[in-house]
Amino acid sequence: MIDIHCHLLPDIDDGASSLDDSLQMARLAVEEGITHAVLTPHITPGRWENTSAIIAAATNAFRQALEEEGIPLQVDYAAEVRISDQIFSLLAADQIPFLGEWEGYRVMLLEFPHTHILPGTDKLVDWLIRQGIRPLIAHPERNRELMQKPDKLRPLLDKGCLAQLTGASITGRFGAEARTAAEYYIREDLITLIASDAHNTSTRPPAMAAARAAIASLVGEEAATRLAIDAPAQLVSNRFKAG
Ligand SMILES: [Fe+2]
């Protein structure tokens, strides 16, 4: 499997807390059946001021450590970009790394606040689409406003947004409301793909297999394979060599 959203890089955000921690997460990912991971540290203005340059350097160092440890996990990088007005200047400075491509658009992993949908989000989405960028909305099922009114996601998808579901939501890690929203989105076929959003080895490990099985029992094996295997591979097909 390819995991397109995870926080394995050490000391760069609220993910792995040390290189040892990162390597242990990578070992767990491999045990899980994850062969490729796109590392997506937070870019959150005022909190985690990461840039393409910082994330690229950290990824290169981590890739070397993986090779030295003999851990067969291929890694590349993007970022989880918190919605803010700094997106404009970061894009102008070419400091937001993209996940991949989808139907001719570059794809940015976009994070909403956990509580609500910011006023003006629709305008930002329109602007991004005009720049040839499709936002991939990170875990909408964990946003409180969307948990209460999941159909508020639909207008954003209609504009061209994609949606990433976090595997642990559908297996219950984030509570009943997130699980209910996750199941709704899966049944309504509003999700583009799933990812682990792993942050550590214990409470938020790099897990995708159980989510894939849960989705299969909900809507069938074909849809589960599309969300866990085919769509992530399509998104990052320009990043990793075949295999
Ligand atoms: Fe994340």
- Give the range of the structural domain holding residue 120, as residue numbers without chain letter: 2-235
Average pLDDT on 160-166 reads 98
Spacing, Cα 67 to ligand 1 middle (Å): 25
pLDDT at residue 84, rounded to an integer: 94
pLDDT tens per residue, range 143-154: 999 999 999 999
Spacing, Cα 138 to ligand 1 middle (Å): 7
- Would 241 be classed as within a structural domain? no
- Would 240 be classed as within a structural domain? no
From residue 226, alpha-carbon distances to 92, 123, 192, 229, 243 in Å are 34, 30, 9, 6, 17
Spacing, Cα 241 to ligand 1 middle (Å): 24
Please, which pLDDT band fits residue 239 given cuts at 50, 70 and 90? Answer: confident
Spacing, Cα 184 to ligand 1 middle (Å): 21
pLDDT tens per residue, range 54-100: 999 999 999 999 999 999 999 999 999 999 999 999 999 999 999 99
Number of domains in the chain: 1
Whether residue 94 contacts residue 52, with contact meaning beta carbons closer than 8 Å, is answered with yes
- Would 243 be classed as within a structural domain? no
Q: Counting Cβ atoms within 10 Å, is residue 210 exposed (0-12), middle (13-18) or buried (19+)?
A: middle
Spacing, Cα 82 to ligand 1 middle (Å): 10
Spacing, Cα 14 to ligand 1 middle (Å): 9
Q: Counting Cβ atoms within 10 Å, is residue 80 exposed (0-12), middle (13-18) or buried (19+)?
A: buried
Strand partners, 163: 137
Average pLDDT on 3-14 reads 98
* CATH assignment of the domain containing 187: 3.20.20.140
Evaluate if residue 242 carries a pLDDT over 70.
no
Q: How many CA atoms, within 13 angstroms, populate the side-chain half-sphere of residue 223?
A: 17
Residue 139, phi-psi category: left (phi > 0), alpha (psi -120 to 50), beta (remainder): left
pLDDT at residue 238, rounded to an integer: 84
Residue 108 dihedral angles phi and psi, to the nearest 5°: -110, 130
- Would 57 be classed as within a structural domain? yes
Spacing, Cα 130 to ligand 1 middle (Å): 25
pLDDT at residue 243, rounded to an integer: 45
Paired tokens of 23: 């390597």
